[in-house]
Amino acid sequence: MSAILIKRATAEAILRQNGWLSTQAERFQDEVLRRSILLRFAPDEVVYHFGDDLGGIYGLVSGVVAVNTAPQSDAPQLIHMGVPGSWTGEDSYLIRQPRRLELRAMTETWVMHLPLDQMAQMTAADPAVIRNFCQNLLRGVDVLIRIIHDLQKQDPERRIASVLQRMTWSSKQVLLTQTEVGTMASASRRQVNAALKRFAENGWLTTSYGSITILNAEALRLFGDEGDR
């Protein structure tokens, strides 16, 4: 299980071309990357825990990261999988409170980490960067709204289709167990099993023991959206 190495230049190129950082001014991109550290996480390793101390932000370069969360009094549940180019962890920077999410590497994962003290130095030098960081959090809000919308669908098959389509943002190979798909879609394992069978019959995906491969994300999206008021 030797680690796959990733070159720093490749990592920077991925983050300059995808997600939040790609939408920011070049000078800001340079500054973020100059101050960031490239980190590797093994499968199942935690990037940060729910309730962890203050820290900086993390940008996904390669691999897959599970996002677990809940209100502060409850146990975190899987709600999403991170996509290369997505950054998270601004809670410490903005409100100086413990982590709201748990991030866990599902496969071997490389992330770029901008430490909190570096964010503070950037802010002291130019307070305009606060808005740059807030813009990333607003992208996170958009994802939360999509998750809520998927969970409001009455028909469990449409929720499951929407969750599977959302998973293709990170990879065609869905790295979730049926139970995990069920958690994200608020469906029972039996419902997930039946839905997967039907979607496979339609040619939208294939399943083999323990893994799901999406063949037609657009068909899943259309089916998931049917009946939207």
Partner 1 sequence: MCYALHMSLRLIKRDVAETVLRQNGWLSYQPEAFQKEVLRRSILVHFAPNELIFDVGDELGGIYGLVSGTATINTAPPNHVPQLINVGAPGAWAGESCFLARRPRSVELRALVEAWLMYLPLDQMDEMADADPMVAHNFGQIIMTNVDALIRVIHDLQRVDPDRRIASVLQRARWIGERPLPLTQSEIGTMARASRRQVNAALKRFAENGWVKTSYRSVTILDPEKLRLFSTEDD
Residues near partner 1 (CB under 8 A) are 69-71, 74-75, 77, 79, 91, 94-95, 97, 100, 123, 127-128, 130-131, 133-135, 137-138, 140-142, 144-149, 151-154, 183-184, 186-188, 225, 228-229
Q: How far is the CB of 6 from partner 1 (least distance, A)?
A: 30
The tokens for 224 are 């998931």
Which of residues 42 and 95 has its CB atom nearest to partner 1 in the complex? 95
Q: Which C-beta is closer to partner 1: that of 41 or that of 50?
A: 50
Which amino acid makes up residue 42? A
Select 8 or 189, whichever has its Cβ closest to partner 1.
189
First vs last C-alpha separation in the chain: 48
Both structure tokens of 190:
């039996």
Least Å distance, CB 38 to partner 1, is 27
Residues present in the chain in total: 229
Region class of 227: left (phi > 0), else alpha (psi between -120 and 50), else beta: left
Task: Using the minimum distance from each CB to partner 1, give the nearer residue, 70 or 219.
Answer: 70
- The answer to whether the CB of 87 falls within 8 A of the CB of 20 is yes
**Cβ 156 to partner 1, closest distance in Å?**
10
Write down the least CB distance from residue 10 to partner 1, Å.
29
Return the percent helix, strand and coil in the chain, to nearest 5. 45, 20, 35
